A and B are shown apart, each in its own frame.
Chain A
Amino acid sequence: MSYVEKLRTLVIEGGLAEAPGLTQEALQAGIDLREIIDHGLIAAMEVVGKKFSEGELYIPEMLLSAKTMQSSLNVLRPLIADKGIKAKATVVFGTVQGDVHDIGKNLVIMMMQGAGFEVHDLGTDVAPEKFYAAIQTHKPDLCCMSALLTTTQGAMGKTIKFLQEKGIRQAVKIMVGGAPITEDFSLSIGAHGYAPDAASAVEKAKKLLGIQ
Chain B
Amino acid sequence: MYITKKITRYLLLISGICLLSFSCIREFHKPSWNVDLLAPLLNSSVTIKDILKDTSVVKTDNTNLIMLIYHANLAGISLDTLLTLPDTSNTASIKLNSITINPISSNYRISLGNLANEDTNIMTYINLTKKIPFPFPAYGPIKTSNIAINLGQYFTRMSIMNGTVSISINDSFPVNFTNIIFTLRNATPDSALVFSDTIPLVKAFTTLNSIKQMSHVSINSNLVANYIFSESGNPTPMKADSSWHIVSTFSISNINIDSAVAIFPAQNVISYANENAYNLQGFQFTKVLFKSGQIIVNVYNTLPSALSLYYVIPNATSSTNSTDTLKIIQTIPAASHITQTQNMAGWVMDLRGIGPIDRKLHINPGKADTVNTFYSIVTAGIAQTNTLISLSLHDSIYIKGQFVNMLPEYAEGFLGNDSLSLNSSFNYTNILKNLKFDQFSLQSVNLFLDIYNSIGANASIRINKITAINSTSNISVNLTGSLIGSLIPVNKPNKPATDSVTPAFTEIAINSVNSNPEKLIDIIPDKFNCSVQAFINPGKKTPVPDAGTDFIYYGSTISVKLGIEIPLSLIAKNLRLSDTAVFSLGSTNLTAITGGSLKVNIGNNFPLEAFVQIYLTDANNNLIDSLFVTPGQVLAATSNPVTNRTTASKQTILSVPMTGNRLANLTKTKKIIIYARFYTVSANATNQFVKIYDDYTIVVKLIGDFIYKVD
Our verdict on whether A and B bind, yes or no, reads no
